[in-house]
Chain A
Amino acid sequence: MPNERRNLEPGSGFLLKAKLSWSAVRVGPANEVTVTSERYAIGLARAFGGAILFGLPLLMTMEMWSLGFSMGRGRLLMLMMFTLMMLVGLSYFSGFEKTFSLKEDAMDAFAAFGVGITTSALLLVTLAVITFDMSWGDMVGRVALQSVPASIGAMLGRKQLGDEQDMKAEEERKQEAGYAGELFLMVAGALFLAFNMAPTEEMVLIAFQMTPWHALALGVLSLLLLHAFVYSIGFSGQENRPEGGTFVSTFLHFTLAGYGIALLVSLYVLWSFGRTDGVAVAEIANMLVVLGFPASLGAATARLVV
């Protein structure tokens, strides 16, 4: 019995060999740690929890249902492939399971997508958004679009709902990945928050209501908050300023880069939903600033959530 307790014990510090000698997390020949099915099942349960929790706001958003059947099929397909790639990356930094190779990251990504699709399908049927007299294309489209936030939620489920976190290992991975990893996490964070806002009509409406002065003010506010969130507030995911880096170089390297990512991700998401079709460039710029606001906050806080 005591042995078994240890088997389930979290956060055994798989990178520390000293600990591995007593821990039940086992090391194979290629220095791979094995995970038992029970532990995987716990991770899977958390993934379902995450999929429901993070997917819920959009599950109950009307525009998501109609976009599911009305948005361009090619764009929907692209969005799903993009999501799959993001899932592989997220699995590397924080999945519902500790991973050790690209193969396992890919397996985790597919599992998370499966959890996202299953959760979305079940909930959409329960909410009567999907009924069985609909055409196949309609049903699959609704589930497919909804599975994007749900599968990201599934991937984040372990971190957010689990108590067994290996913060040290996660931090090490983030350190190893360096600047590129930092940028990837910003893309993931921006995508998740932008995706939560972009389907609503309000994004376009707000852009129409705003004067250029409003847009400029919102852009400046986004930049200030982005900078403040990442560097000034002492929270756990805080990024250290590079050694000897001045305010200006930090601002250029992280804040401006982050805002650039937020705007690009916003453009991609708006284009996916067909919100930019036939719209004047000036109006698109307004929409980008509007959606860039949540996207930049997502980019800034990605380190906390992931």
Chain B
Amino acid sequence: MTQDHQADENRAGKPAQQVPWLEWLAAGIGSLLVLGVFTVIGWQALNGSTPPAITVTVDTVAPVEGGYRILFRALNRADEAAAQVEIAGTVSTDGGEEVSRVVLDYVPGHSERHGGLFFTRDPRGGSLAVRATGFVAP
């Protein structure tokens, strides 16, 4: 420790070494991070302004206690985020139609959110359609 200090002391005589290396490192890493964040956001600012477009894909259909459960993914292919996205699933069988709905709080741009719907009729026994029915701007 003492030797380190003396080495420091000797070097400190030269004005070029007055700023400690750790300060350069911290400021350097900070500048890089700031530059990176600014670049990503700036790129989005210049390129991203398409309103939400949400597509829903069904992943699995499985029987659960008291009915059937489907798991889906809602993908927002556009730049802007959508809030309160309503997802409606319709099962049509010979016996009639059954509609289940769920609301996703947010689906950010170019992102997906996962969710599920419950039905009493077996979706595999008829036709299943799941789609986003609406959203509000956040």
Q: Are A111 and B30 in contact (CB under 8 A)?
A: yes
B50 within 8 A of partner (CB): no
* B124 CB → nearest A CB, Å: 28
Closest B residue, CB atoms, query A79: B41
Q: Are A107 and B23 in contact (CB under 8 A)?
A: yes
CB-CB under 8 A from A34, the residues of chain B are 12, 18-20
A136 within 8 A of partner (CB): yes
B133 within 8 A of partner (CB): no
State the interface size on chain B (CB cutoff 8 A): 43
* B1-22 at interface with A (beta carbon < 8 Å): 1-2, 5, 8-9, 12, 15, 18-22
Out of A1, A3, A74, A140, name the residue touching B40 (CB < 8 Å): A140
Q: How large is the interface on A (under 10, 10 to 19, 20 to 34, 35 or more residues)?
A: 35 or more
CB-CB under 8 A from B132, the residues of chain A are none
The CA-CA distance from A113 to B36 in the complex, in Å, is 12
Q: Are B41 and A3 in contact (CB under 8 A)?
A: no
A29 within 8 A of partner (CB): yes
Q: Are B12 and A80 in contact (CB under 8 A)?
A: no
CB-CB under 8 A from A117, the residues of chain B are 30, 33-34, 37
The CA-CA distance from A36 to B26 in the complex, in Å, is 14
Binds A, one of B58-66, B85-93, B94-102, B108-116: B108-116
Q: C-beta contact mask, A122-162 vs B, less than 8 Å → 1, else 0?
A: 00000000000111111011011001000000000000000
Q: Are A80 and B37 in contact (CB under 8 A)?
A: yes
The CA-CA distance from A125 to B40 in the complex, in Å, is 19
* A72 CB → nearest B CB, Å: 8
Q: C-beta contact mask, B75-89 vs A, less than 8 Å → 1, else 0?
A: 000011101000000
Instruction: Point out residues on A near B: beta carbons under 8 Å.
Output: 1, 3-4, 7, 26, 28-30, 32, 34-37, 39-41, 44, 66, 69-70, 72-74, 76-77, 80, 84, 97, 104, 107-108, 110-115, 117-118, 133-138, 140-141, 143-144, 147
Sample 14 A-B pairs with CB under 8 A, ordered by A number.
A1-B2, A3-B5, A4-B2, A26-B12, A28-B18, A44-B22, A69-B109, A70-B81, A77-B45, A80-B41, A107-B24, A113-B34, A138-B108, A144-B37
Contacts A28-B12, A111-B30 supplied; 17 other A-B pairs, CB < 8 Å: A3-B5, A34-B18, A37-B21, A37-B23, A40-B23, A40-B26, A69-B106, A69-B108, A69-B109, A70-B80, A76-B41, A108-B27, A113-B33, A114-B27, A135-B108, A137-B79, A144-B41
